[in-house]
Structure 1
Amino acid sequence: MNALIKSATIVDSKSEFHNETVDILIEKGVVSKISKRISNPKSYKEISLDNLHVSPGWFDSSVSFGEPGFEERETIANGLKTAALSGFTHVALNANTNPVVDSSADISFVKSKANDHLVSLYPIGALTWQGNGTDLAELYDMHKAGAVAFYDYKQPITNPNLMKIALQYASNFNGLVCAFPQESKITGLGVMNENVNSTKLGLKGNPSLAEEIQVARDLFLLEYTEGKLHIPTISSSKSVDLIREAKAKGLNITCSVAIQNLFFTDDALSDFETNFKTLPPLRTEADRLALIEGIKDGTIDMVTTDHNPIDIENKKVEFDNAMYGTIGLESAFGALQTIFTTKKVIALLTKGKERFGIQNTLVEEGANADFTLFNPSSEYQFKEKDILSKSKNSCFLGAKLKGEVYGSIANNKIMLKHD
């Protein structure tokens, strides 16, 4: 793949070209030259776009594509295409499939489905066999096959001894254990944040206490085992405080937040719109602001779209019966740009790779071209035509967003929306 990117502003704080507007010459997938002006005598494909900005390729630590088993929701092929056109060149894929990805053979299968694609796919293996929360899965075998972490997606490990053993066992090969923060006995049948809004709507509440008790428990287990833990998608201010304290102790802990929890509150549920039914639930404005502060001070390590396609049969039903989940790849950049500066947004979208054992990339000569192309200044209302996923369950429909993604370049391939 050969290409010449014209007049692009580099957004990469670790690159010597940061904030400079330059041309970038790519030959056979490698950056051969970066300069103020580069001619094109070999008639390579030229990429010249309005207010073009280029950053290292983005990473999402939590995406779901359905396949195998739920192809009606999404396939790996279309999911990776959606990721590429949304600016993500690296994604970690959850194990919430049918069958659950809980063996080395399953890891190899998922990886094979992403062969020869622009986006690099990193499988997350189930922490327990069949995701049943009872018996540990084949962690080491999956690790050898390419699993970057172990996680029963959205399923809390109720047995603390099992979590203790998982942390101890995975530490033998530097494995990353992920633990969904929810105490299900407290959550009960709750379907939204327990607050004044749940009372007004007559919906059963899921209190932030259920998350915080589980976070506290898992942090105690982490301190005891000296393991390596990632807590995905925290949603409450107290969870931020607990993780901040754990980091001050020197524990090997990271966490993420779903972008919708930074953008919306439980006020959005007033019309019983099931696209806002997420797990963890949307919480209060105080929680939202605490999450943003946690990002700013480094307590929260990364953001995720928590992209979870759900077919219409499981979303267009009564709120109590609807499945949890929203898609988020297509809206991620535009949503974050309404909250943070472009520099901060790019830092957030490129963070987290090292935690999952993925090599960082730079915009520099001699490096493999692994770029996201975007315009940070355009403003628009997110509509169904902007959705690239098979499922259309986006809580951002109708939201005013800022910033357009043109596409991405990686693995010796180019994928642009306007091609």
Structure 2
Amino acid sequence: MKRVPKAIDINVKNSESIARLSKAAKNGGVDTIVMIPSHKPIYDKLHLAYNLKRAQESHINLLVAIEGIHDNKLSNISILKKRGASAIYINSDEDMNLIKRVFEYAEFLNIPIFVNCNNKVLSNAVMNDSKIAYSLGVSGIPNYAESAEVAKIYELSNHFRAKVVFSGISTKESIEILKNKKENIFVDVCIDNLYFTDEMLKDFNTLYKTFPPLRSEEDRVTLLKACEEGTVDFISSNHIATNNKDLPIEEAEFGISKLDIFLPLAYSLPLKKETVTKLISTNPAKLFDIEINDYVNLQKGEFEVDLNNFASKGKNCPYKTLKYKIVE
């Protein structure tokens, strides 16, 4: 039996109701979630208040990331911070002058920025750009669709003191850029990219279609090494609920559901347990100045993942077994 602090999941997409997310988080040993507004907009007082109210009703510690830029306009970041926003979310390929202004607000208000480093034009595809994509006859997303954007935002970050989280990093090239980062720069990796590679899609298995895409084995090994060496600061779930998977690979939706199993899934990784605790609990707590005071017990063994026990509406989960489970 191992007693560990509950997780703080810094990358949960707003793809389902907060009531469901609350129950899924409880199942998965997650105490706090950071809601990323990639599915529904959160850019004004009304959207923010709605989500915070639902969280209060559902008894979940919810940190809301508001869109820093919406419809090519700067959101009212200062007002939203006063109303309870905990972070800012932006895409790296927005107008650079607007991004610079977001950085200025974030530095002044001391609120972290989560940056999705992705060039949408280069990423208008299905999966990782590789021999496997070529053999399947589908379009590929090259590593440089991410790393070129990482380089751009990294350079900008060096001119500000704002806390910048590079969200969902998936490539060895990005890690190389970020390995000597300053104290205000943080790296987040999605747990799927530590488990799987694009090999999983070779039989058109759409359960493994996700974003950022599953990359090569070399990328996966580089990410795991970066977790142990300290370049990676956070492991997050990148939880997305969708059941639109039983479709041709080009039409199936991106995303994997795993909030219901996140903490035991993280401890099942081939990483030191102290490293996992740091990346899913201690470091996120420091970023948001949260006190860790809730723990769960983990039992070691081999346990099947039962999708019928998921509180999430998403059954789009390819994970079959876990090395740990949460016990009372």
TM-score (norm 1): 0.74
For the 8 Å contact 1:164–1:222, the answer to whether it is kept is: no
Comparing 100-109 with 228-237, greater Cα deviation is found at: 100-109
After superposition, the C-alpha distances for 1:83-125 in whole angstroms (9 at most, x for unaligned) are 0121001111122344x11113322221111215443111111
CA distance in 1, matches of 2:204, 2:309: 23
Can you give the 5+ residue segments of structure 2 that lack an aligned partner in the other structure?
none
Alignment of 1:42-191 (within 5 A): 51=1, 53-66=2-15, 74-98=16-40, 100-115=41-56, 117-129=58-70, 132=71, 134-152=72-90, 155-187=91-123, 189-191=124-126
CA distance in 1, matches of 2:146, 2:38: 21
SS of the aligned residue for 1:108 comes to helix
After superposition, the C-alpha distances for 1:126-146 in whole angstroms (9 at most, x for unaligned) are 1212xx3x1111111111111
Specify the alignment match of 2:168 in structure 1: 233
CA distance in 2, matches of 1:338, 1:353: 18
TM-score (norm 2): 0.93
Specify the alignment match of 1:371 in structure 2: 295
CA distance in 2, matches of 1:270, 1:380: 26
**Structure with the higher fraction of residues in helix conformation:** 2
SS of the aligned residue for 1:271 comes to coil
For the 8 Å contact 2:7–2:263, the answer to whether it is kept is: no
TM superposition shift of 1:257:
0.4
CA distance in 2, matches of 1:251, 1:165: 21
Which residue, out of 321, 336, 340, partners 2:271? 340
After superposition, the C-alpha distances for 1:365-404 in whole angstroms (9 at most, x for unaligned) are xxxxx222322x12123242343311211132xx332100
Identical-residue share of aligned pairs (%): 25
CA distance in 2, matches of 1:97, 1:265: 25
Specify the alignment match of 1:15 in structure 2: none
After superposition, the C-alpha distances for 1:205-242 in whole angstroms (9 at most, x for unaligned) are 10001100000000111123443311101000111111
TM superposition shift of 1:271:
1.8
Specify the alignment match of 2:239 in structure 1: 307
SS of the aligned residue for 2:158 comes to helix
Residues 169, 345 of structure 1: alpha-carbon distance in 2 compared, 3 angstrom cutoff: closer
Residues 65, 166 of structure 1: alpha-carbon distance in 2 compared, 3 angstrom cutoff: closer
Residues 169, 209 of structure 1: alpha-carbon distance in 2 compared, 3 angstrom cutoff: same
If you compute each CA radius of gyration, which structure gives the higher value, 1 or 2? 1
CA distance in 2, matches of 1:354, 1:344: 14
TM superposition shift of 1:184:
2.2
The letter of the residue matching 1:208 is N
After superposition, the C-alpha distances for 1:163-203 in whole angstroms (9 at most, x for unaligned) are 1121112211112112111122323x321111111111111
Can you give the 5+ residue segments of structure 1 that lack an aligned partner in the other structure?
1-50, 67-73, 363-369, 407-415
After superposition, the C-alpha distances for 1:282-327 in whole angstroms (9 at most, x for unaligned) are 00011000000111111110100011111x2x32221111221111
CA distance in 1, matches of 2:289, 2:246: 38
CA distance in 2, matches of 1:382, 1:318: 25
CA distance in 1, matches of 2:272, 2:105: 41
